[in-house]
Amino acid sequence: MSELVHKKNIQKYWTDNVPGLDKGGKSAKIGMQFFKKIDNYRLQNEPYVIPLIETLSKSKGRLLEVGCGLGADLRNFAGRGMSTVGVDLSFNNVKLTKKGLEFYKYNGNVVNSDAENLPFKEASFDAYYSFGVLHHTPDTAKAIAEAYRVLKKGGKCIVMLYHKGYAYLYINVFYGFKRLFTSENKLISNYYDSTPLSKMYSKKDAYRLFRNFKNVSFDVTTFAFGGVDVNSKLKKVHHLLKNRFLMERLGQFLIIKAEK
């Protein structure tokens, strides 16, 4: 019951705080221009998603995106010829993503569901994609096991998880003493992104999570969205992380590519 209540809190938070919603325009009418603004902002400010989408789109098969939000990436996949299914914990996000697909006249389905309990049969998808979502669910390992279950043999998987990079070091240096009173995840949630639940992972952690997959590889990047462009301190950090050696160790996003 406690996990159910916790997921309800997560569901409410992401319904009330939808990433990118304001990029459609304040008090904007939900129409084609609304979704175009969201999609353009996504690609302009997070360009590192483009090669990820291109990689999975090569299969031209059936793709599942878990945590589709407003559907910017899902529409990108659909526009490249993939048969798309989106999943989101928020009912409102599901409705908005469905509208976006309709406005673009793309085929696709969107389902309100939980990353840890996907309502699909085994071996249903050729590709699985989840960007910045699975570190917000209580049992991330179970969510990744679900990804493995619904993928076909040889199916491709790309997942982004928060990396134990510079923010993790900052939190531990300045707030590590609070570990005497609370959990690491709570510290990350409170002092990184103020969500009900956030977790961070090292490459070693991710190896364990993806131990059943084949051809597992990692890349580390950092964000240009939501803060770097307006915060002078973050701008300086982002500039330093253009150095590949530093990026691999201190970048904030851990991108995992794997195959069933």
CATH superfamily assigned to domain 2-167+199-259: Vaccinia Virus protein VP39 (3.40.50.150)
The closest of 124, 148, 121, 144 to 133, measured between CA atoms, is: 144
For residue 94, name the pLDDT band (cuts at 50, 70, 90). Answer: very high
Per-residue pLDDT tens for 144-161? Answer: 999 999 999 999 999 999
Give strand ranges (E) for 209-252: 214-221
Q: Give the pLDDT confidence score for residue 70 in this predicted structure.
A: 96
Backbone phi, psi, residue 120, to 5°? -130, 155
Per-residue pLDDT tens for 208-241? Answer: 999 999 999 999 987 544 444 444 555 566 666 6
Listed by start position, the domains of the chain span 2-167+199-259
∠ CA(219), CA(257), CA(222), 5° rounding?
A: 30
Q: What is the DSSP string of 102-131?
A: HHHT--EEEEE-BTTB--S-TT-EEEEEEE
Average pLDDT of 195-206? 96
Which residues touch 169 (CB under 8 Å, ≥6 apart)?
250
For residue 171, name the pLDDT band (cuts at 50, 70, 90). Answer: very high
Half-sphere exposure (Cβ direction) of 96: Cα atoms closer than 13 Å:
23
How far apart CA 125 and CA 200 sit, in angstroms, is 27
Examine the pLDDT at 204 and tell me if it is beyond 90: yes
CA distances from 57 to 81, 129, 192 (A): 8, 11, 32
- Which region among 25-39, 47-61, 222-236, 246-260 has the lowest average model confidence (pLDDT)? 222-236
Examine the pLDDT at 26 and tell me if it is beyond 80: no
Q: What is the DSSP string of 5-70?
A: HHHHHHHHHHHHS-TTGGGG-TT--SSHHHHHHHHHHHHHH-TTHHHHHHHHHTT-SEEEEES-TT
Q: Give the pLDDT confidence score for residue 78 in this predicted structure.
A: 97
